[in-house]
Amino acid sequence: LKVKNYQYPKLLIDPAKSTIISDSGRYYPALSQTDMEEYYRKYITGYVGQLYTTFQGRKDLLSRTLYPGGVVFSGQEVEGFIAFTDLHPEVRKVRLRLGDIALRFNFRDEPIETIDIEYAFDREIGYYYPRELRSMRAGEISWSILSEVNMHYRRLGRTELKVSEVGYGTNMLGRPELTESEHIAMVHRAMELGINCVDTADVYQGGQSEVMLGKALKGRRDRMILATKVGSIIPREGRDISPGHIKEAVEASLRRLQTDYIDVYQLHSPQLHHLQENSWLETMQSLKEQGKIRYWGASVNHIDAGVWLLEQDLIDSLQPTFHMLYHDMADTMFGLATERDVGVVVKQGLARGLLSGKYAADHAFTGSGWHEQGAVVAHQIILQKVEKLRFLERAGRSLAQAALQYLLSYPVVSTIIAGAKRVEQLEMNAGASNGMGLTGEELERVKTILGRDGVQTW
């Protein structure tokens, strides 16, 4: 182990404060295996950080926990790191993240030229020590992500992006009811839960959603796939996807987000006749060539717009409304998306709360909420059908989580954009990820209850 200007102290972890306590008066070139087992088993349960294989998060391939034998403090440079593990021979890649740090291990005696988050193994794995890690600066380690992380990941269509099955919809981020620190904490909690993609728009909370994301992702930008939208006019007076507006809007979004690129730039609820003018397409291509966006897509409210975009093969991702109560689009739109290899990003997966499980069959909506936008929403038939879906509830799975898993049953669905006002909702949403969705038997029963075409809810 090579150490540069660094005394390697004995470490303890205070779980109550999530801090690392060091006995700085002592020098340890490396913790022994006995010490590591004693300290880490005493203070940490489950996996350290987000530890999962690239085999769709199959932790069953890990026969025991991976323990780090070194900890890097903020601002210190280290040229060495030691670890021990006992992995199943089938494992050839593994990813380890400790808070803000992603360390690349090389299990041969070769220097590591870059810092990455995936580590490939070319032989059966036993106990190996990497000889050297190039000097780096690291942020403070957070120990809040432990065994709770169970997120699965999917490819976003033909792109190079791997997105968490559940994303974070931030239309409520930046609302005045919460403080700035509370909003930032929500984003950080999402990351702790394994969520690696957020969806926002330049009009959400008058631009404050993007502002809060920019602050929350400062120093963490490379850990989040960032999608935002363009086309709605503040304060939502209409739609504009003209080249001039797109160019202005992308610069404003980049400033608010404190980034120099957007991973997925989406047209916001465009109308078909505006799309067919095609002036927006050249602008998107230009922004990609400039490095300001990586991919582009569209968030659509109407099937005809989505189908046309897919038929013309003009987008990398499509964000339609889709949920258990309204699934007649699946055959047409999803078939085209599969054929074109376009990633589907589902919005309104809980039918604006109808599938959350909080409404009883006899619930009567009152007030001026979205429910009053269409009398059909409050119709007893719909709520009675939802009540019949409670067969999906079981220990460890709520109706809302089952509703999200229904969406994940479609392989073309890359991720679900799920909104959250509270941390508890965020945790519930993330808990729906299971890598497969509902079982075939559950899907058939759902379709029997709802009908093959589902129920329109607005």
Q: Supply 83's token pair.
A: 């670890």
pLDDT score of 367: 54
Backbone angles phi, psi at 84, to 5 degrees: -135, 150
Given pLDDT bands bounded at 50, 70 and 90, which one contains residue 394? confident
* Residues 414, 345 contacting (CB under 8 angstroms): yes
Q: Supply 2's token pair.
A: 């090579």
* Residues 8, 29 contacting (CB under 8 angstroms): yes
For the ranges 146-150, 290-294, 323-327, 406-410, which has the lowest average pLDDT?
A: 146-150
C-alpha distance from residue 177 to each of 186, 205, 395, 409 (Å) = 13, 12, 33, 36
Task: Quote helix, strand, coil % in the chain, to nearest 5.
Answer: 30, 20, 50
Nearest 5°: CA angle at 300, between 297 and 303?
120
Q: HEC profile for 220-253?
A: CHHHCEEEEEECECCCCCCECCCHHHHHHHHHHH
CA 348 to mean position of chain CA atoms: 16
pLDDT score of 456: 52
More confident residue, 169 or 353: 169
| Torsion sign, CA atoms 15, 20, 26, 29 | positive
**Amino acid (one-letter) located at 107:** F
pLDDT at 365 over 80: no
Q: Supply 216's token pair.
A: 């929350």
User: For 269-286, what is each residue's pLDDT tens digit?
Assistant: 999 999 998 899 999 999
What average pLDDT does this structure show over 169-181?
Answer: 95
C-alpha distance from residue 215 to each of 180, 202, 227, 243, 259 (Å) = 9, 15, 16, 28, 10
* Residues in contact with 45: Cβ distance below 8 Å, sequence separation at least 6, in sequence order: 146, 147
Q: Which residue has the tokens 């290899």?
A: 341
Average pLDDT along the chain: 71
DSSP string, 246-283: HHHHHHHHHHHHT-S-EEEEEEES--HHHHTT-HHHHH
* Alpha carbons 21 and 14: distance in angstroms, whole number: 7
What average pLDDT does this structure show over 434-443?
Answer: 93
Q: Which residue has the tokens 């969806």?
A: 199
* Residues 198, 167 contacting (CB under 8 angstroms): yes
* Residues 411, 162 contacting (CB under 8 angstroms): no
* Alpha carbons 372 and 307: distance in angstroms, whole number: 29
pLDDT at 297 over 90: yes
Q: Supply 335's token pair.
A: 């078939």
Nearest 5°: CA angle at 297, between 291 and 302?
160
- Given phi > 0 = left and psi -120 to 50 = alpha, else beta, which region is 86? beta
Q: How many CB atoms lie within 10 A of CB 430?
A: 27
pLDDT at 324 over 70: yes
Q: Supply 317's token pair.
A: 């991702």
Q: Which domains does the chain have, with CATH numbers?
A: 10-120 (no CATH), 153-450 (3.20.20.100)
H-run or E-run covering 382: helix 380-388
pLDDT score of 237: 59
pLDDT at 40 over 60: no
DSSP string, 23-67: ETTS--SS--HHHHHHHHHHH--S-SSEEEETTTT-GGGBSS--E
The residue from 204, 265, 295, 326 that is catalytic is: 204
Highest mean pLDDT range out of 20-24, 94-98, 110-114, 384-388? 384-388
* Residues 91, 53 contacting (CB under 8 angstroms): yes
For the ranges 150-154, 177-181, 226-230, 306-310, which has the lowest average pLDDT?
A: 150-154
User: Does 168 participate in catalysis according to the annotation?
Assistant: no
- Given phi > 0 = left and psi -120 to 50 = alpha, else beta, which region is 189? alpha
- Given phi > 0 = left and psi -120 to 50 = alpha, else beta, which region is 99? left
* Residues 272, 304 contacting (CB under 8 angstroms): yes
- Looking only at Cα atoms, what is the longest distance across the chain? 72
